[in-house]
Amino acid sequence: MKNNHSINIDGLQFDWDLSKGEFLFEQEDAVLFWITSAMKEFFDTIEEISGEEASTLVFETAGFRQGTVVGKYFEDLKHVGVEEAADMITATYASAGWGYAHIEDLDLESQTLRVRLKDSWEYKINKAQGKKRRGNFLPAHYAGIFSVFFGRNVWFEIKEDQIAGAETTVIEYFPSDITISQNIHALSRKKESQQILQLEAMVEDKTRDLKELIKQISSPIIPVLDGVVVVPLLGKYDQERAEELVYNTLSKLPSYQASYLVLDLTALDDEIDQLTTSLLEKISGAARLIGTETVLVGLSAKLSITIAESGINISDFHCFQTLQHGIYYALSQQGKQII
């Protein structure tokens, strides 16, 4: 069995060495893949893992950078001009199964051109994938080639799309400040922004849930005996929390037919602020209007001094050191006692 095979097609050399498993195209290692099965599976896998937006940028970037490799190869052929190199590239790609490609309206002065593609390998993959618009590997690939030829960055715009129903894909190229690196950074920033927004939304949701939980467990109204309810005050109060406490307490007092409201300050911080002292006055005054007397219990020595220095009229309250004493007082005022 013969192991070495060679063929020359229109000046392009193909060589095989079966004993080494080598395939050479123009003296360079090459490889063959089935387009609509193996290569399609390769593209599908990248898109599945990376997502549509990121995979589009992956193919675009890979196409552009491969194009710069091709551009530098032909640039090193000093005797070959840009127009001749353009013709050689399309002929080379046709022999390698890249489909029909024709470069039109190449203007070296304005550094613009148009590329017409038909039945390219990328089109065949996209069609097998059932896509409605083509990928950007080949458009970006030619941008990479001519960025090297023109010595400045070139970008593209797809004017006609074969996958969308046009007879051919037509791509226009022009000098541009758009670069692959900028596109990569833009996508990274976009993903970072999206992640930040997602985190902010999660924090907002958790904060809302936490506030709702605080409302449910903070300062519950506890009916301990007939005509007596206890409300424990916990921690520090901001404006929203204070208003919530006043509203909940006063709206529920009538349903309990409470004659005495016992505010338990045991769990309050010793260093209460003006808002909390104002809360005590507000809730006591409002309760009095509906016929409920307010009793303060759980007063430490330090908290008593703080309240006294705050300017509250302490005579508006009946004050006791412990909750038990406060409840005994409320019952005695109603002519009742615990036996």
Task: Give per-residue pLDDT as tens, 248-290.
Answer: 888 888 888 889 999 998 887 666 778 888 888 888 888 888 8
- Give CA–CA dist 339/337, Å, rounded: 6
Note whether 104 and 117 are within 8 A (CB).
no
Strands 12-17 and 4-9, by their bridges, are antiparallel
The backbone region for 5, taken as left when phi is positive above 0, alpha when psi lies in -120 to 50, beta otherwise, is beta
Among the ranges given (80-84, 158-162, 212-216), the one the predictor scored with the smallest mean pLDDT = 212-216
The pLDDT assigned to 214 comes to 64
Confidence of residue 185 (pLDDT cuts 50, 70, 90): low
Residue with tokens 């409840």: 327
pLDDT at 266: 86
Q: Which domains does the chain have, with CATH numbers?
A: 33-178 (3.30.1380.20), 218-333 (3.30.750.24)
Sequence-distant contacts of 71-74: CB under 8 A, at least 24 apart: 71/144, 71/145, 71/146, 71/147, 71/148, 71/149, 72/148, 74/145, 74/149
Residue 235 has what pLDDT?
76
Mean pLDDT of 289-318: 83
Q: Which is nearest to 126 in space by CA: 155, 165, 157, 159?
A: 165
* Its pTM surpasses 0.85: no
Looking at residue 282, its pLDDT comes to: 87
How does residue 190 score in pLDDT terms, banded at 50, 70 and 90? low
Dihedral-angle region of residue 260 (phi above 0 means left; psi in -120 to 50 means alpha; beta otherwise): beta
Q: Which residues of 90-121 are buried (b: 16+ CB within 10 A; e: fewer)?
A: bebbbeeebbebebeebeeeebbbbbbbeebb
